[in-house]
Structure formats: C-alpha cells, structure tokens
Chain A
Amino acid sequence: MLIDWFTVGAQALNFLILVWLLRRFLYKPILSAIDAREKRIETELADADAKKAEAQKEREEFHHKNEEFDQQRTALLSQATDEAQAERGRLLDEARKAAEALSSKRQETLRNEAHNLYQAISRRTQQEVFATARKTLADLAGMSLEERIVEVFVRRLHELNGEKKKQLVSALKASPNPVVVRTAFDVTPAQRSSTEGAIKETLGMETQIQFEIAPDLIGGIELITNGQKVGWSIADYLASLEKNVNELLKDTDKPEVKAESKSEKPKSEAKQ
C-alpha cells in the first residue's frame, strides 16, 4: 500500500504547522516591511512635494522681493541723482551769485575810486582855474572877478540871437514865478541894477527879478525861468573839462577792465 495513513495525518499536521511558521516568520514580516517602506516612500514623496511647493513659493517670494529691492534701488538712485543735480545747480548758482556779487562789488569800488578821483581832480581844477582866472582878471583889469562875470553875463544877454531870445521870452511870459538870477557870490547893488537893466532891455518887458546865491556855480551867474537858462560860470567850463577828462580816463581804463574781466567771467560788464 502506497498510502500510509499515519504519515498522511502527520504530513497534513506538518503542513499546517509549516503554514503557521511561514506566516509567522516570512509573510507577515515581509509584507509589513514592504507596507512600511511604501508608506515611508509615500510620506517622503509627499514631503518632497510639500518641500518643492514651499521652495517654489519661497523662490517666488524671493524673486518678488528682489524685484522690489531693484525698484527701490533704482528709485533711490534716481532720487539721489536728482538731488545731487539740484544740489549741484544750487551750488553753481550760489558760486555764480557770489562771483557776481564779488565782481560787482569790485567794479563798484573801482567806480567809486574813479569817481572820487574825478571829483578830486574836478575840485582841484575848479579851484585852480578859479584862482588863476581871478588872479588873471584882477591883474589884467584891476576889477574884481565878480564884476567881470556880471559884465560877461550882461554881454551874453545882449548877444542872445533871435531863436534863443524868443524861447526865453515865451518862457518868461508863461511862467507865473519871477525870474531867478543865481550867482555864486553876493552881487553889489550896481551889479544888480546893471543885470536887471540888461534883462529888461534884452527881453523888452517889465518883469520881477529875484537874486539867489548858489555857491555850487563856482564863480558864475545864470538866469533860470521855466526850464530856460542863460548864464556863464566856471562850472560850465569845468563841466566841459570834466567831460574831456572823463573821456580820457575811460580810454585809459578800458584795457585794464577788459583784462580783469577775462579772468573772471567772459561776459562781465566790460563797458564799466
């Protein structure tokens, strides 16, 4: 007999025991290990996804911040540039103004100096001329300078030609004020009456005459009415002299001023 029933039972039992043993030592541990690994891989993948998403988010955030920073930097830079430009302009303006002020002050000083010099020269010349004329007249005619002045004035009145005389007459007629005769000195009654006579004779009309003393005329006499003037004074000659001197000084000043102005500013006031 090929079948031994005890062996059959024993083998069936053995097989069942083997099933239990393998279940205990093989299938369960292996399957649980595989499950754990799969779970772990799933978790890691999920983690990786989350990290990736986070990294992406951070990247975008960083990118955004970078752009913002760039914009801010550009804005700040442009602002700083603008401010620097404005500051530069302001400083240049200030420097220009200061230079202009300095230049004008210097020119003013120069002008003042020149003016003072002219005045001194004028005064001195006037005084010299006055003294010379006085001495000369006194030596020559033996009369005072004032008398000679009044004589000259009277002669001038007589010598007035038609056009000038007409203007003077119409001015006198139009003016309600009396005729003013200004002299640099105190006129004597004789001189006064000769002057009044000459005026009346010249103009051919009765008019009230007022005498005034004006020291600035420097040895002169003049008739003034309503804008018209007839007279003689050293001041006139001196004015002419002054004019000539001025022109002379201008001619001598010009090159100097030009040379100075070149070093400071090309368009300075060279005419001064």
Chain B
Amino acid sequence: MRLSPDEMIFWQHGFLKINATIVFTWGLMLTLAVGSLLITRKLSKELERSRWQNLLEIVVTGMEKQIGDVGLRHPEKYLDFLGTLFLFIASASLCTIIPGYEPPTGSLSTTVALALCVFAAVPLFGIEAQGIGGYLQSYVKPTVIMLPFNIISELSRTLALAVRLFGNMMSGAMIIAILLTITPFIFPVVMTALGLLTGMVQAYIFSILAAVYIAAATRTREGKLEPEAIH
C-alpha cells in the first residue's frame, strides 16, 4: 500500500525521476493555465460577459477580498502567490472525484515544497515592506530573549503547514482507499464528498495562514506605529 504518489515512479535516471506527484501536478498546471488562457483570451471589457469569465472574476475578486480582510494592504500584490496557493490546493482536492487520480498534495514532498515556498515568501515580502533591518528586528521583539523562540516558531509553523495539509489529504485518500476494499458501495462516495469538503477547507486554511504570516511580517512596523497613533 502506497502512502504517497511519490512512490509511483514513471521514469528515473539517477537522481532525476518523474513520479505520479510531478505528473499530476503538471496535469493540474496545464489544466489551470490552459483553462485560464482559454477563458481570458477573449475577455469582455463590456458589461456583457461570458459565464466563465464571470466565474473567474468572482474567484479572483473573492480571493482578493479575503486577502484584504486578513489585513494586507494592496491585496493585488499578494494575489499571485496566495491565490495560486489556494487554486492549486483546491483544484488538487477537487480532482479527487476523477478515478485513478491521486492528489499531489497527498505527497509530503509537495506540501513541504509549498510550505518552503511560504517559508521563503514571508521574509521576502517582509523585507520588501519594511527593509531588511526592520524585518530582522521583528525577531528580537518584544525582547532579545524571544529571538530563539521566534526562529523556532518560524520553522515549526512551516513544518505544521506541510504536515497539516499532507495529513489531511493523505488521510482522505487513504480512508477512501481502505473503504473501497471494505465496503465498495455508498460509503466511499460519502467519504469522497467529505474529502472534497476537507480539501476545500484545507486549501482555505493553508492560504489564509500564509496570508496571516505575510501580514504579520509586513505589519510589524505598522503595528508598532498604531499604539503611538492611539496615544
């Protein structure tokens, strides 16, 4: 029994290999990119527009609004990163209704890669927002004693991101696989539906957490200024 689609290897040449995770990811990338291209190729700037364009506009503006609600100013700046996180994870979960498909997010390698991206993006956005000095200073606040704890927190939350997503997606896939062997009727369908729900929730949680981390990194100075403004 496979715990991860990583184990399904199609081609290998020494260190290089192409496994199911990568192939399914490519498939998702292709679907998302080509779908977007097809819909946005003939975008209407008039009041009349196609229902697909309407759907995409709702998705994009909805994500933008969520990012803004988290507290990030200029949400369109973070939309590329956070929006892609959400869309990738959500579509990976959504495709579980396709027989023979295994979500790439059910692989710890993928979730680690995504968590690492967040881990890298947080300081990058933080430095962009308040400079390298300002960003580094946020690690020694409120006191220098907090420095190791801040670093540990940074690492642990990245690990938590990766493992949370992996655990949920993997467990969902595993439960369905086990149920298929025990009760092939009805229950797998119910669990698949539940899996879709948890997949969506996980996509939301992952991207919202990433947004919160970025917001925390970019709002340090603003947070510091706010009390002064109040007083």
Contacts and interface: CB of A to CB of B under 8 A. Distances in A.
Answer yes or no: do A and B interact. Answer: yes
Interface in A1-50: 2-12, 14-19, 21-23, 25-27, 29-31, 33-34, 36-37, 40-41
Contacts, number: 123
Most buried by A among B15, B36, B47, B56: B36
A22 to B, nearest CB: 5
A7 B88 contact: no
A33 B54 CA distance: 11
A27 B60 contact: yes
Given A4-B109, A27-B79, A29-B40, A37 B19 contact: no
Bin chain A's interface residue count. Answer: 20 to 34
A16 B118 CA distance: 11
Contact of A8 (B15, B45, B47, B109): B109
Contacts of B166: 2
Bin chain B's interface residue count. Answer: 35 or more
Does more than half of chain A's interface fall in helix, strand or loop, or is it mixed? Answer: helix
Nearest to A33: B43
B44 interface: yes
B22 A10 contact: yes
Interface stretch (B24-32, B133-141, B182-190, B192-200): B24-32
Interface of A: 2-12, 14-19, 21-23, 25-27, 29-31, 33-34, 36-37, 40-41
Interface of B: 3-4, 6, 15-17, 19, 21-22, 25-26, 28-29, 32-33, 36-37, 40, 43-47, 53, 56-57, 60-61, 76, 79-81, 83-85, 87-88, 104, 107-110, 112-114, 116-117, 166
